Amino acid sequence: MTRDDEFRAWTQQHRQGLVRTATLLTAGDGHTAEDVVQATLTRLYVAWPQVRLADDRSAYVRRALVNAFTDEMRARARRREDLRSEPPDGAVPLGAVDPDTLLLYDALRELPDRMRATVVLRYFHDLSVQDTARTLRCTQGTVKSQTARALDKLRDRLGPALGPPVVRSLPADAPPARPADRTTDHPTDGTALAAVPAPRSVA
């Protein structure tokens, strides 16, 4: 099997998961999410021998995705500085989306990029503080403080969408929730980025 064959087969299996994570990272901006995923996949292709040999392929791919996201957001910030008249990104080209999701994207959009990434890694990918710090290449203390500040902002913005009772004293290093009614978890092997439930109807 050639690199192309291997890469194509892997991408077919995991691309949707990457797009979903990127969509959360970009607060529902589907176009930017696709750009981030394309950049990630290009880097993975170039580094395929390392991807193939990675002890934890899932962690490798997550880092590549977060790095591509960070680079993309920096590039967009620079472009906005150069072209002040350019309309801001942030549209949600997702078709019919439930109101809670729109509210979530609005709230996520108000977080700084790195803080948003912390939330996605901790509460969507169920990563520990340690693994989140490794992925973001920062200290565990930074992850804890970013998480705490993000949760405060999200509580203020989302209010009832997070559901009663509101717990003000949520510790930033509390483990991500693993509710029993979730249809799947995020495994630690190479499938993690694709491991969200099958799409529900968005019609």
Which residues are near other proteins by CB under 8 A? 1-4, 6-8, 11-12, 15-16, 19-21, 23-24, 28, 30, 38, 41-46, 48-49, 52-53, 94, 97-98, 100-101, 104-105, 119-120, 123-124, 126, 151, 154-155, 158, 161-167, 170, 174-180, 182, 196-200, 202
Find the shortest distance in angstroms from Cβ 134 to other proteins. Answer: 20
Least distance from other proteins to the Cβ atom of residue 81, Å: 27
Instruction: Closer to other proteins by CB, 141 or 171: give it.
Output: 171
Whichever of 77 and 170 has its CB closer to other proteins, that residue is: 170
Tokens of 32: 């930017």
75 or 202, CB closer to other proteins?
202
Nearer to other proteins, 86 or 187 (CB): 187
Instruction: Find the shortest distance in angstroms from Cβ 80 to other proteins.
Output: 25
Task: Give min distance, CB of 191 to other proteins, in A.
Answer: 15
